[in-house]
Structures are given as structure tokens and as C-alpha cells.
Amino acid sequence: MRLGIFTDSHYSSKDVTCNVRYNSRSLCKIKEAFEYFSEQKCDHVICLGDLIDKEDSHEKEIENLKSVSRVFSEYDMRISVVMGNHDAFAFDVDEFFSVLGEKYIPVDLFTENTALIFIDACHFKTGEHYKRGDSDWTDTYYPHTDDLRARLARVQGDAYVFLHQVIDPEIRADHRLYNDAEIRAVLEESKKVRAVFEGHYHEGHDSRLNGIRYTTFPAMCEKDDAYYVTEI
């Protein structure tokens, strides 16, 4: 299976935020990424979150998300979008996917020998999900570990895990889930997980621990050509 992956586009009308995020350029970069994924004949495109960024008005946020949706609709590839903390700040989950398109909700995919497993770590450590206007980039947690264990038990062959925030222990703790060690233990126990793909830590990073590869992709808003094709 050939995957096209990008993350942290942070698309908005602002030219630059945090000195290094070129938000308004990201719509063109998303188009460029999709042209490349299409040329490369990707089966499935995955956005690892923070697709958009906040605006001064919610109407503008809706307009921006519709612009992204128009780009997606030009391509005949399966697309899954994992929400990031910035997406969750601007939109509740239901509204996000009703504007972007419900077919882009990330749903676990099980094939004969490979599975894609999606984790939504947009939860506070209380276990509550982020809400519009209420998210925190350092307060991230995945409360459904039993459910994750059960999903991994269904996998035949190799599993690949996707989330916005970070469980790679080599990355700074403020980017990681509170229970990153617990999640890694569940993945390791299954003996099926080959790789974990993450965003959120804009510099990107690669590591390997106990047989699992952790790839954190660099942020599209800070870099040119930050889109990647990977064969699994």
C-alpha cells in the first residue's frame, strides 16, 4: 500500500504566525502535495492534523476549511484526516467533518495483511475531548487504551498507527501524551505494530524503539516540499 502523508499545514489567511509558520501559503502547498501523491499513484492520503489554524471569525475558518475540501475533492484517492489541536480549537469534531467532508473521518482500515489504526489524542488528561475554543497543545492524552488493545487484536499481519500528537519518547515531553509510555506498551504487546506516524512536533524526528519505528513528519507550514510518500 502506498501512502501520501503531510501534516501541520496550519492553513489560515495570516502570512506568518509564531515567526516561522507561513499559514497562508499552505493551501498552494496542499495542492502541490496532492499533485505529487497523484503522480506517485498513492492509494491513500493521510493528513496527520493541524490542517487549518484559527481566524478572527468562525465564518473565515469555515471558508478556509471549504477551500481545503475543494482541493481534496479534485483527487480520486482515499483521504483520512486526523484532527490536531489547532483543528479542535477552531471546530468541534462534528462540525469539522461536516464542513470538510465526512468521508475524510479517519476510520481504521483492516486488510488481509495490513492495518491502519488511527488514534485521536485530542483529549485533556481528564479524559475529556477538546472542544471548540478549548484545546491545549501540551495537554494531550488517549483515554481508550482497552479499545486500542482490542483493535490491535483484530489485526492480521502488520499494523501502522497514526496520530497527531507524539508518543516517540525521544521528543520533548511537552509534545507527548501524558500516557505515551502506556500507549507504547500496548503497541509493543501486540507485536504487530511496525511503525507509528505522527505530527505536532514541527521539526520532525525519526527513531526506533523495541522494534517499532517512530516517524514524526516536519510541518508543512514551516517548510517547502513537506509531503511524503511511504510504502507499507
Q: Please report, as ranges, the residues that interact with Fe ion according to CB under 5 A.
A: 50, 84-85, 200
The residues, ordered by sequence, that sit 6+ positions from 13 with a Cβ below 8 Å of its Cβ are: 23, 24, 55, 60, 64
Query: Closest approach of Cβ 99 to Fe ion, in Å?
Result: 19
Query: Closest approach of Cβ 48 to Fe ion, in Å?
Result: 9
Nearer to Fe ion (CB atom), residue 72 or residue 89: 89
Whether the CB-CB separation of 11 and 26 falls below 8 Å is answered with yes
Nearer to Fe ion (CB atom), residue 64 or residue 85: 85
Query: Closest approach of Cβ 86 to Fe ion, in Å?
Result: 6
Q: Cell 498507527 identifies what position?
A: 161
Distance CA 170, CA 13 (A): 33
Nearer to Fe ion (CB atom), residue 45 or residue 47: 47
Distance CA 117, CA 166 (A): 15
Nearer to Fe ion (CB atom), residue 79 or residue 82: 82
Strands of the chain (E only): list them.
Answer: 2-6, 44-47, 78-81, 109-110, 114-118, 158-162, 193-198, 205-209, 212-216, 228-231
Distance CA 200, CA 74 (A): 27
Query: Closest approach of Cβ 75 to Fe ion, in Å?
Result: 24
Classified as helix, coil or strand, 123 is strand
Nearer to Fe ion (CB atom), residue 100 or residue 155: 100
Strand arrangement of the beta sheet that strand 205-209 belongs to: 109-110, 114-118, 158-162, 193-198, 212-216, 205-209
Query: Closest approach of Cβ 154 to Fe ion, in Å?
Result: 29
Closest-by-Cβ residue to Fe ion is: 200
Alpha helices in 74-168 (DSSP H): 85-90, 93-100, 145-153
Query: Closest approach of Cβ 59 to Fe ion, in Å?
Result: 23
Nearer to Fe ion (CB atom), residue 85 or residue 179: 85
